[in-house]
Amino acid sequence: MKSVTRKLMQAQFAAGLAVLCMAIPARAQAPEDTTQSPQTLAVTADAGQVPSSPTILPAQKPLPAAHWSQTGGFESDTHGTGYGFFGPSYVKPFRPNVSWVASINGNYLYYEYATGGLSGGDTRVKSPGVSTRAGLKFGQKNYFQATAGPGFKRRHIEVVDTAGNEISSRDDFKVAMNMGSEAWLEPTGHSVVYGILDYSAADSYTWSRLAYREQISNRSWSGKFAHFVGAEVIGQGNHDIKSTQVGANFEVVHVPSSVSIQVRGGWKRSTFLAGPDKTGPWFAIGFWQRLR
C-alpha cells in the first residue's frame, strides 16, 4: 500500500513538474506590461486593429541638370523703332520645380518721334546697353519666372529739323533696375501659350507679349526638324512712344542641335507724345539654343 501511494505521489510530482516546465517558456515569451511601447499597448487594447507594415516612400526623382542657353533677336518697323539683343542665360534647379535663373545680354533700343513746336522735325533716341538679371523659376514643363537686376545704358538723344539737320543733342549714362516676368503653359503636348512682361527703368520702357504656337510637324520628335505656327499680340513703349501690334509667327527647331529660329511679323500702330499716329508693318527674327 505504501509502495502504491509512493508511486502515485511520484507520478503527481512528475506531472506537476512537467506543467511548470511548460509554463516557464510560455511566460518568458509573453511581453511584459512594463516593456510594451505606448504604440504596442494602443494596438493591443483595440482587438479589431491589426498593426500595419511600415510605409515605404518612393525614391525622390533626381533634379534636372543645370544648363546654359543663348538667345537673341531683332525687331523693327517702318516708322523708326527697333530693338535688338543677344546673350546667355543659366538655369540651376535646387529643389523640385524651383530653379535659380540668371542672364546677361547686350541690347540696343532706338526710336524717334515728332518734336512738335515751331521748328518741327524729330527727336531721335539711340540707347545701347547691357542688362543683368537673376531670379527664380517655378516649374519645369509649365513654369513661371521672375527676374530683376541692374541695367546700364548710354543714351544719345538728338533733335533734328524737318530737313534732317541737327539742332541739338545730348548724351547720358544711366544705371537702373530691369525687371521681368514670363510664363509658359503647354495645354497639350503640341501647343504653347507664352506671356512676357519686361520693364527697363533706364528708358522707362515696357515691353509685353502674349503668343500662341502650334506644332505642325514631327510631334514625336523623332525627326531632325519640327515646325510651329502661331499668333501674337505685343504692347510696348514709354512716355515718348506707345505701340500696339498684332502678327503671326513661324518657327523651325533643329532637334539634334536644340536650335530654334523664329520669324515674326504683322501690323503695328504707334502713338506719340507729339505728332500724328503711325501705322505700318513690323518684322522680327529670333534665335534660341540650349547649350549642352
107-160: pLDDT as tens digits: 999 999 888 766 678 899 999 999 999 999 999 989 999 999 999 999 999 999
The reported pLDDT for the residue numbered 119 is 66
Where b means 16+ CB within 10 Å and e means fewer, 42-52 reads: eeeeeeeeeee
Is 229 contained in some domain? yes
The reported pLDDT for the residue numbered 253 is 97
Residues 86 and 213 grouped into a single domain: yes
Determine the average pLDDT of the residues in 219-235. Answer: 96
Residues 90 and 183 grouped into a single domain: yes
Is 223 contained in some domain? yes
Domain of residue 277, CATH code: 2.40.160
State percent of the chain over pLDDT 90: 65
Distance of CA 161 to the CA centre of its chain: 47
Is 162 contained in some domain? no
> What is the C-alpha separation between 185 and 132, in angstroms, rounded?
25
Is 209 contained in some domain? yes
Is 164 contained in some domain? no
Among the ranges given (58-67, 100-109, 169-178), the one the predictor scored with the smallest mean pLDDT: 58-67
Residues 36 and 144 grouped into a single domain: no
Residues 14 and 84 grouped into a single domain: no
Q: Are 223 and 212 in contact (CB under 8 A)?
A: no
Is 72 contained in some domain? yes
Nearest to 251 by CA among 221, 198, 288: 288
The reported pLDDT for the residue numbered 292 is 74
Residues 241 and 283 grouped into a single domain: yes
The reported pLDDT for the residue numbered 4 is 39
Range of the domain at 9: 2-45
Residues 87 and 206 grouped into a single domain: yes
Residues 79 and 211 grouped into a single domain: yes
13-69: pLDDT as tens digits: 344 434 334 333 333 333 444 433 333 323 333 434 444 445 566 667 888 899 999
Determine the average pLDDT of the residues in 192-215. Answer: 96
> Which amino acid, 136?
L
Residues 201 and 258 grouped into a single domain: yes
The pairs formed by 134-139 with CB atoms below 8 angstroms and a separation of 24 or more are 134/100, 134/101, 134/102, 134/103, 135/100, 135/101, 135/102, 136/98, 136/99, 136/100, 136/101, 137/91, 137/98, 137/99, 137/100, 137/101, 138/97, 138/98, 139/97
Is 109 contained in some domain? no
Cell of 57: 516612400
> What is the C-alpha separation between 34 and 57, in angstroms, rounded?
32
Is 166 contained in some domain? no
**Taking 80 as the threshold, does the pLDDT of residue 104 lie above it?**
yes
**Taking 70 as the threshold, does the pLDDT of residue 177 lie above it?**
yes
The reported pLDDT for the residue numbered 57 is 60
Residues 201 and 241 grouped into a single domain: yes
Residues 204 and 277 grouped into a single domain: yes
Cell of 36: 510594451
Residues 34 and 77 grouped into a single domain: no
Residues 271 and 194 grouped into a single domain: yes
Our count of domains for the chain comes to 2
Determine the average pLDDT of the residues in 102-106. Answer: 97
The reported pLDDT for the residue numbered 51 is 46
The reported pLDDT for the residue numbered 170 is 94
